[in-house]
Amino acid sequence: MSTKAKLLIIPWIAVGIGLLVAALALDFRFPEPARFVTCLVLALLGSTFKIKLPGMQGNFSISFVLALIAIAQMTLTESLVVGVLATLVQCFWGPARVPHLCRCCSTSQPW
């Protein structure tokens, strides 16, 4: 990966980690735990399914839709936890090759 790409991606990873830590530290509340657990389980399961779309190079995961639902219906902390865990499962659950950390930046990134 080029130095320019690293200079662009690494600060965004740092901001994302900082936002997750701040949300967990300052606003640790889960007002509807059943909804959170349901969405989290569905997002994790959706992250394991890799869908090949015609005309696209790589795979696509349906966890993106569940992450959007989490953003619309849940608190910031719940949405971040769902998005981060779904992304990690999508990146590291049975890939042909383990991607670089910088490829795991977005839940909407088609692999």
On whether the pTM is more than 0.75, the answer is no
Q: How many domains does the chain have?
A: 1
pLDDT, tens only, 59-108:
677 888 888 888 899 988 898 888 888 888 887 876 666 555 545 554 44
Give the residue-averaged pLDDT of 37-64.
83
Residue 111 lies in a domain: no
State how far the Cα of 78 lies from the Cα of 28, in Å rounded to an integer: 9
Query: Is residue 75 domain-resident?
Result: yes
Hey, is 46 helix, strand or coil?
helix
- Is 66 domain-assigned? yes
In a domain, 32, yes or no: yes
What domain range is 40 assigned to? 3-104
Instruction: Give the H or E element holding residue 2.
Output: none
Q: Is residue 109 part of a domain?
A: no
